[in-house]
Amino acid sequence: MKCDRFIEALGAKIKILEVTRQCEDQVTALVEVNDLPEAVRFLYYDMGGYLSTMIANDERSINKHYALYYALSMEGGKMFAGDEIAQDEKCFVTIKVLISPDSLTYPSVTPLVPACVWYEREAYDMFGLVAEGLPDKRRLVLSDDWPDNLFPLRKDAMDYRYRPDMKEHYNEPEYEFLRPEGSGIIDVPLGPLHVTADEPGHFRLFCDGDTIVDADYRLFYQHRGMEKLAENRMNYDQMGYLAERVCGICGYAHAIACIEAAEKAINLEIPARAQAIRIICSEIERLHSHLLNIGLACEVTGNYNAFMHIFRIREYSMKLAELVTGGRKTYGNVVMGGLRRDMTGHEIKESLRILKIIETQADEVWDAVMDDPRQMKRWKGVGILDKQVARDFSAVGPNIRGSGIKRDTRYDHPYDFFKQIEFNVAVVEGGDVFAREMVRYMELKSSVSIIRQCFELMPQTAIIIDPTFHVKPEDFALAYVEAPRGENVHWIMQGSAQKVFRWRCRAATYNNWPSLRFQFRGNTIADAALIVCSLDPCYSCTERITVVDIKSKKSKILTNKDLKEFSKTLKNSPMKDLR
Amino acid sequence: MNILFLILTLPFVCGVIMFVMPLKFKLLQNLHILLSIAVSALLLSAVGKVVEGAELSAFHNFIFLDSLGAIFLSLIAITGLLVNIYATTYMKWELEEGHITLREVKNYFALSFIFTATMSLSVVCNNIAFMWAAIEATTLASVFLVAVKKDKSSTESGYKYIVLCSIGLAFALYATILLYSAANGKVEGEAMLYTNLLANAASIDTMALKLVFIFALIGFGTKAGLAPTHTWLPDVHAEGPAPTSALLSGVLLKCAMLGLIRYYAIVANGAGFDFVQNVMIISGTLTLFISSFFLIRQHNVKRMFAYHSIAHMGVIAFGLGVGGAIGLFAALFHCAAHSFTKALAFCSTGNIARIYGTKDMTKMGGMIHIAPLTAVLFGIAICSLVGVPGFAIFVSEFLIFKAAAIDGSYLLMGLFAVALAIIFIADFSHFFLATFGKVEGKVEHNSEMKLGENFPLIALAILIVAFGVWQFDSFTLLLDESVKTIMKQ
Amino acid sequence: MDFFYLLLQLVSAILVAPLFDGISRKLRAKFQSRIGPSVFQTYYDIYKLLKRGRTKSHSTSYIYQISPYLMFITAAAMFCALPITYSTHSVILSQFSDIFVLLYLGALFRFIFIVAGIDTANPFAGVSASREGTIGFYTEEVAVICLIVVMMGTGSSNLPFITSLVQEGTYGYAIPSFSIASTAFLWVMYVETGRKPYDLAEAEQELQEGVLGEFCGKDFAIIDVAILLKQFAVLGFFLVIFMPWRFEHPLLSLIVFLAEVGFLYVMGVFIDNFGPRFTINKGMKRTMLFALSVSCASLVLYIMGI
Amino acid sequence: MQTIYTLFLLTSLLSILLYKKPLLAQKLGFGLACVISLYAAIFFFSNLKETLIWELPGNFISAPVFRLDSLGMLFSFLVSLIAFAVSLYSFEYVKFYEKKANLAVFASLFNAFILSMLLVIASDNVFSFMLLWELMTLISALLILINDGKGAAKNVMIYLGIAQIGAFCLMVALLIMASFAGGFEFSAFDELNIGFGMSMTLFSLLLIGFGSKAGMFPFHVWLPLAYCQSPSNASALMSGVMIKVALFAFIKFSLFLPQFVQFGYILLFFGALSCVFGIIYALISNDYKASIAYSSCENVGIIFLGLGGAFYGLGTNSPMIALLGFIAALFHILNHAIFKSLLFMLSGNVYTATKTRDMDALGGLHKKMPITSIIFFIAALSICALPPLNGFASEWVIYKTMVTGGIEEGVVSRFFFALAIIALSITGAMAIMAFSKIYGAIFLGIARDTKSIEEAKEVSFMMLLPLGLLASFCVGIGIFMNDVVGILSKIVLTLIPQTNVSTYGFISMPIILMVMFLCAILPFVFLYLLKANNKEVRITDPWACGFLYNKSMQIGSNAFTGDIRKALSFILKYESEIKLDGYFSKAVYTHKTHDFFWDKLYEPVIHSIMLIADKIGIFQNGRTNLYAGYILIYLCLILIFGYYYI
């Protein structure tokens, strides 16, 4: 069976307490707490693993302990040609440890495997689990005014409706940034409200003149408590919709990943047509996402003309999505066992026509951009992600492929219909913004081809199988989808009554953030926004705004429609009926 | 009685008197001052007579006093007196701190008169052999002043002093003999007498004279501290008590220089000025540069001044080398200027050593706050030494530049300027180290000396400044006369 | 009378400038397959700004308060230094209209711009103030090298005098150094207008509106007008030296000049619309080097007496 | 005129005699200095066209004669004028040094310094000139040492070292000139009959000698070090006036030489070098006093450009260019004296209030010291040569000279004049950056290091009065530039007669002002007509992208020049290093720039001298037999060499 080789090798070095198998390519090994760093390091560096996710879990109701799961994707280090595990041996190995609620401490893996840093910081925020020896113990997820001893993901911590009082903004405690030592450095804040950073995140650039000496960041402004929201409350059909709302751009990948995690746990095989359409949707998502990113990469350098034209093309991909799913952006068609909506032949034909348009026009614009030496100068050599850094931090998606590491979940762990589709993994050496945009462009092209293949190979079967299934409590499984930004990993532990016990959703960008600091260094402020943009960080968008009258303290919530209406006509001022 | 005879006997008598005095410091001190004044007054009166135009001679011209000698005699008188006065204060401090016994002090006082006597003798000798002997005698007389303490390093430096100077002076003796043999029969009258030799220099064999001058340069140069035969000088000057160093550097070196100048005069008039000037320029340049490089790394204040003595001997040699009326004038002026300056410099090191208990300048600092007057005096000494205008030494350096400019030897001007610049920078950096900033080491005597104790220093400082800006007609007259004698104009 | 026409020259420029800005915005939108704003949008913007309330940061001092007016005065004075409605005949004004006066008024504008930026204590304002200074360093010498050719060629730094010489044809494009200088000078003047790809100090994409980040309301409106005026002044600077079209009647030459400058301004769209912005270190330096070598070439030609 | 000299001497002596009563001495010393220098200023100004001679009685060496001609009068006037302002300022200012030094000594040195400068200007023979020149150097060195700060001794040492090398150059040059002239009185120096090579050498020696004192590149290295160390009133005098004395002497002596056109080129080249490099270093420095000091180098460069034009004019027999050049140089000398001493005194205000010289620690001082701030603003505008202030006026005349010079036929002259204009324009652009930075970093924004400005408060009226006076000079001279040019041209005509002068083609500052005033009305008219929103301004934090504002977000002096340092790293050898220990530690950022000339010119010399000094020690190892060996070897060598070859 897959995975056994790794378990054996691990067993030769470290005492394994227990091995459980979740599905064909997923195995979990329980080890002693003190062996944890060595076990993870061994699998990561010696056996060629990448850290896919790490899950902290409050299992006191099950085994009176907290548990940590370090899920490693065993695919080879890929640092040089041939440094890769054979295709049929690639799998996921999870190292599990149990932590006693009395001590709440475990040895940190980060000093050995830097990729763990955010996970271990988050484990403290959410569960109060202290990683001994973690070099960076600052708060990661929770806001700075969050009470100190309240760990929201503990099962007994807090009611999900409960939320601590907010502080006034000027009373917020100051976050401690890693300000470099040395004189004459200016702190340039980028965000949370900044013209080019559409996402609310705060980047602190430490600059000497225009040169970035070092950078630090404070993110999670949009933390919405979704994992808490899902626990013990939602059934699996609802989960799909919730997961899709994790992200405004690549929500669909989350939806599939989440549902497939549940399907994996019960070894449910969905119909081929459903598989194909899931792939089509996710590739359409990749299309528009990459177009968006390439456009933005032009825009942040000031090339509005290219930006406008790329967005014009992106409009076609939205139309395509509408044809396939009925929704322009948020498709909402994934359910346990398959899909909700099928396609007609006419829609397929129309889709193929639009695909053609997208392909030709994207080529035209891309050529124009490539021909502009000024644009190339802005992209080349900027924001270089060193190959070793990428390896150490388990970066994903175009970010790591731009650094010359051939890492693509569709290729490493083919899921669904991908087993039947031929495509090339886009890998570009260089690690700079240009390399990442090039990867995106190549993927854009391959997405078009994948969609075409899917339309061709798509069998005429049902799109859903009868979702009568029974989930076993305490079973868990991992699902993975290559979203436009990289691998999305969802981990679900089943609870009783067909509800989720613990849902861990790890979006692609989560693995890309920690190495950003090293991409910033040595570049200029002008490039900072471009570098962030080339990472293609996940946006969490909202389409509601609140109007507040500061005098009367009254407010009114406007929908997108209201707002647009008012902006266009200047009638029905929202200021009239504040409550 | 001939005044020249008195000059030679009185100091000797004074020395004997000091020897037989009882061991009472107060008495010794007052007597020493009194006798010093008497001796100096005598010497100066002799000088006075020369200024008035008298030719003094005794014992059938065996000893004589010309204007050249008068210059040096006045140095012995003035510098010697002030240093001797300072010596009483200095010895008082040494006694108080128990570095020295009263008997040693008495011996010191007595010997200093003998020393004065030998120096006077070397100045007034007309017989060149006898002059050589007198200079050798100064070595012997002064060695006890250096080794007054009788500890190991004192004795060792005394030994080094005798051995090296004697080796050097042996060559001078050879020069003397050579000169005598070359001149004997060719000059009218006694061929041992300087006056005769100078008057008839032209008739002596040129090649012999050249050889004579080279040996004289080595011989008297060793004693005077010209490089590279200067090597004994830093050790000896750094070792003895401050007043001794002041006397050695301020007066004794000049006496040796006088010997060389006398040979310079004879040879120049015999073998031509070009030869002596070239040799002196080589010697002077060498001395200047070697000493200036040595100066850079000297942190011991007394060693620094010792190297300064060498440097200034180099300046004198350079002045002689540039030659011409102005050059010679400058060289002779420099003898006087350096005498006062160096006396002040070494005496101020006495004060400094008392304040800090060390001679290492890196361990000093903040002197301007502890003892402002000493710092100012020290500063004046340094300023004068490095040739800051307004102080005596600048005048002679300026004149050397002037001589070179008029002569058209621009290369020499450049060389001289470079060497002086190095000395300037090396010196001032040391001076600032000691005077300003914070105190680096410990301070033993945290206050200014008494004004009376500083009197000789202030007098020297006033002399330095006065010679730097004012023109003393009688002194200038002496210099002009001497230059005329040498140049035979 | 001179002063009346001078005032007319200034006021008409202020009134017309936003229109050309509007036209160029419209044109730019067309290139980007957008509908774009109305051609009068710039007027609306300024008017709206005048009606807005103001905030200021607590760090600001008197510099913040007076800088909009100082900038306006400087920009206006720069524009006045262009001999459009007057010429060598006007004894008084030709004592004012001098190349160095114009250059140093530009420097004064930059000085105030930088100081005002630092005064707000805003990080973006500070960084872009630094960029503004650096751009000045890059452009100044190119501009001056070009002007040296002109000044030494005509023997004067007096603008009306140079204008009349060039228009009469006594001095002009027949001389190679002059014509080469004109190209480099046009580049510098374009950079000085602060438009893409050289809008570094104002690079709102990365710097949130640059130096002016903290300005608002009527202050901002005045600065907007001042910047428009400065853009017109520097383009005019090129025109009066290298393309003087003067007529006997001051009004006629004013109208022709405004049309000329407006045309040049709108044509800027063909540069600023395409391609990305430069960064201060890379693109700026390279294009500067190119312009510098062009200007140096013209200077060498002059020096060689060709 | 002897009265003035005597009075200064007496004041100086009186102050030192009141050694035990420093406060009284300070009041008397500086008070009297103020009165005397005011009198002196009036005296010299009213006698601007006279020639006065005074012979010092007594039997001094080389009988010193003091002679003041028109040029000397002008410089004496300048010295007295600035001395007046500075002593008025010092009256209060020196109290800050009460603990550091004896104020009696300070007052005495101060008076002696003024006296020495006046006497240098007036001295009329080589010996007394050299004497007073070095005296001036020495007193200024002592004034620097008043501060007695860390490393003061070393910096003063560099100052004295370079000054001494310069002095030797001067001495050599003057003596050679004297030997050709056949007399040591300067009045005998006219019409030296020397060839091209010799006069070139002499000119170079004079340039090195006076240039090193004036802070010309590459002999500038002492200047920022010394001015940073000294008390601000001393810096004001040194930079404001002492530099000018050197320039005066340079003009005076180099006019004695037969004129060649190459002199002009040399001056233009070094002037260009000085002004560009000076301003570069002024720009990148984070110490405001060092910046202002480097800007002195820059301004000396500008003055040399003017002089270069003048000497070119003399060399080619074009009196118009010579006249313009001299006027330009003198005009800039006058202006620089005013605004540079003003800036140094202002920096004194800042330093006494904040006790720091690091601009990265300052900020927001305007709120605490509004008047100082506004005067600083005027001074900064003026030193940046912005219209309508005096700096612009004199730079305009320099430009005028260059343009006039560049018209001439001849590749070389055109090249050098073009070079000069380019250098001047680069300087202008960078001066804008440098001084906007200095002003901004010190006075605007908010305090970067709150501690430093917490206790800052505006200085007393007595200290502001002279500053206000000088600031009004900045404005006044700017506006009445054509009148000043008229006065200066009359003085220059005594140097190079047979020229007629007119200010035809000059700009008119009042008209510039008038136009600006006209423009100033417009915005208010517009605001009124369009009924702008005049509501009260709301006060907020500076915008920090919605994040909590932090004072380290405002740009500091160092970060401000980040780009330019990078762009100029081929000169500055800018090096930066980010050290990081592992992935998660704080970075350590270090960066430094090098003084190009120090590295390339001084360091190797110093290094090799030190190397020789270290190595030479082995010859003196205390072994007597070795020493005896030296004697023998030396004997052999000198015998062989001396006996056979000479």
Find the residue in A nearest to C269 (Cα): A305
Q: Are B296 and D613 a contacting pair at CB < 8 A? A: yes
Find the residue in A nearest to D580 (Cα): A180
Q: Are B388 and D638 a contacting pair at CB < 8 A? A: no
Please say if the pLDDT value at position B10 is more than 80.
Answer: yes
pLDDT at D336: 93
pLDDT digits (tens, 9 = 90+) for D22-31: 888 888 888 8
Chain B, window 267-296: residues with a beta carbon less than 8 angstroms from a chain D beta carbon: 274-275, 278-279, 282-283, 290, 293-294, 296
Q: Judge contact between A170 and A73, C-beta under 8 A.
A: no
Find the residue in C nearest to A524 (Cα): C279
**A315: helix, coil or strand?**
helix
Task: Locate D79 and state its tokens.
Answer: 């010295």
pLDDT at B427: 82
Q: Are C206 and A196 a contacting pair at CB < 8 A? A: yes
Q: How big is chain C by its Cα radius of gyration, in Å?
A: 19
**Multiple choice CATH, A4-158, 3.40.50.2300, 3.30.460.80, 3.40.50.2020, 2.60.120.380:** 3.30.460.80
Q: Which residues of B touch D619 (CB under 8 A)?
A: 228, 231
Q: What chains are in contact with C, requiring at least 3 Cβ pairs below 8 Å? A: A, D
Name which of B106-120, C65-79, D614-628 the model is least confident about.
D614-628
pLDDT at A542: 36
**A166: helix, coil or strand?**
coil
pLDDT at D291: 92
Q: Judge contact between B472 and B74, C-beta under 8 A.
A: no
- Calculate the average pLDDT of chain D: 87
pLDDT at A546: 43
Please say if the pLDDT value at position C17 is more than 80.
Answer: yes
Nearest partner of C122 among D553, A183, A528, judged by Cα: D553
Q: How confident is the model over B10-14, as a mean pLDDT?
A: 88
Total beta-carbon pairs less than 8 A apart between chain A and chain D: 117
pLDDT at A541: 38
| Confidence band for D363, pLDDT divided at 50, 70 and 90 | confident
pLDDT at A550: 53
Q: How far is CA B256 from CA B318, B450, C142, in A?
A: 16, 35, 71
Closest Cβ opposite residue A528 in set C32, C206, C274: C206
Find the residue in D nearest to B236 (Cα): D622
Task: Locate B443 and state its tokens.
Answer: 């301070």
Preferred mutation among D421, D443, D570 to probe C, highest tally of C CBs within 10 A: D421
From the CB coordinates, do chains A and D have 3 or more pairs under 8 Å?
A: yes
Maximum average pLDDT range among A462-466, D99-103, D134-138:
D134-138
D569 touches chain A (CB under 8 A): no
Q: Judge contact between D210 and D249, C-beta under 8 A.
A: yes
Q: How confident is the model over D397-407, as a mean pLDDT?
A: 88
Please name every residue paired with A478 in a beta bridge, in sequence order, or none if there are none.
Answer: A491
Closest Cβ opposite residue B471 in set D59, D138, D610: D59
Q: Are strands C55-57 and D538-540 parallel, antiparallel or unpaired?
A: parallel
Q: Which residues of A touch C275 (CB under 8 A)?
A: 303, 305, 372, 374-375
Q: What chains are in contact with A, requiring at least 3 Cβ pairs below 8 Å? A: C, D
pLDDT digits (tens, 9 = 90+) for B245-304: 888 888 888 888 998 998 888 888 888 888 888 888 988 999 999 888 888 888 888 888
User: So what's the ipTM on this one?
Assistant: 0.87
Residues of chain A with pLDDT under 70: 158-163, 196-198, 467-469, 538-568, 570-579
Q: What chains are in contact with D, requiring at least 3 Cβ pairs below 8 Å? A: A, B, C
Preferred mutation among B229, B239, B362 to probe D, highest tally of D CBs within 10 A: B229
Estimate the crossing angle of helix D319-354 against helix D70-93, to 10 degrees.
10
Q: Is the peptide bond before D510 cis (omega within 30 degrees of 0)?
A: no
Q: Are B294 and D617 a contacting pair at CB < 8 A? A: yes
pLDDT digits (tens, 9 = 90+) for D477-516: 999 888 888 888 888 888 876 666 666 678 888 888 888 9
pLDDT at D335: 93
Q: Are D403 and C55 a contacting pair at CB < 8 A? A: no
Find the residue in C nearest to D538 (Cα): C55
Q: Judge contact between A129 and A68, C-beta under 8 A.
A: yes
Please say if the pLDDT value at position C23 is more than 90.
Answer: yes
Closest Cβ opposite residue A305 in set C32, C199, C283: C32
| Confidence band for D73, pLDDT divided at 50, 70 and 90 | very high
Q: Judge contact between B342 and B80, C-beta under 8 A.
A: no
Distance of CA D457 to the CA centre of its chain: 29
Please say if the pLDDT value at position C281 is more than 90.
Answer: no
Please report, rounded to a whole number, the percentage of residues in chain B having pLDDT higher than 90.
6
Q: What is the 3-state secondary structure (H, E, C) of A71-84?
A: EEEECCCCCCCCCC
Minimal C-alpha gap between A184 and chain C (Å): 13
**CA angle D450–D455–D458, rounded 5-degree value:** 115
D384 touches chain C (CB under 8 A): yes
D582 touches chain A (CB under 8 A): yes
pLDDT at C130: 87
Q: What chains are in contact with B, requiring at least 3 Cβ pairs below 8 Å? A: D
pLDDT at A320: 92
D578 touches chain A (CB under 8 A): yes
Asked whether this chain's domains A4-158 and A227-511 adopt the same fold, the reply is no
Closest Cβ opposite residue B421 in set D168, D634, D635: D168
Alpha helices for D409-459 (secondary structure H): 411-443, 450-454
pLDDT at A160: 59
pLDDT at A570: 67
Q: Which fold has domain A227-511?
A: Cytochrome-c3 Hydrogenase; chain B (1.10.645)
C128 or D303, which is more confident? D303
pLDDT digits (tens, 9 = 90+) for B348-396: 888 888 888 878 887 777 788 888 888 888 888 888 888 888 888 998 9
Q: How confident is the model over B173-183, as a mean pLDDT?
A: 88
pLDDT at D598: 83
Q: For chain A, which residues make up each domain, given as ranges? A: 4-158, 227-511, 543-579
Minimal C-alpha gap between D586 and chain A (Å): 5
Distance of CA A304 to the CA centre of its chain: 28
**CA angle D18–D22–D25, rounded 5-degree value:** 55
Closest Cβ opposite residue A183 in set D360, D561, D584: D360
Q: Are A377 and C204 a contacting pair at CB < 8 A? A: no
Maximum average pLDDT range among B167-176, B235-244, D496-505:
B167-176
D176 touches chain B (CB under 8 A): yes
Q: Which residues of A touch D577 (CB under 8 A)?
A: none
Q: Whole-angstrom Cα distance, residue A526 to residue B114? A: 88
Residues constituting chain D:
646
pLDDT at A547: 47
pLDDT digits (tens, 9 = 90+) for D591-619: 888 888 888 888 888 888 888 888 887 77
pLDDT at C205: 61
Find the residue in C nearest to A189 (Cα): C123
Closest Cβ opposite residue D444 in set C115, C208, C217: C115
Amino acid in position A148: D
Nearest partner of D240 among D208, D215, D210, judged by Cα: D215
**C188: helix, coil or strand?**
helix
C273 touches chain A (CB under 8 A): yes
Minimal C-alpha gap between B437 and chain D (Å): 6
Q: Which residues of C touch D541 (CB under 8 A)?
A: 57-58
Identify the residue whose tokens are 């929202």.
A574
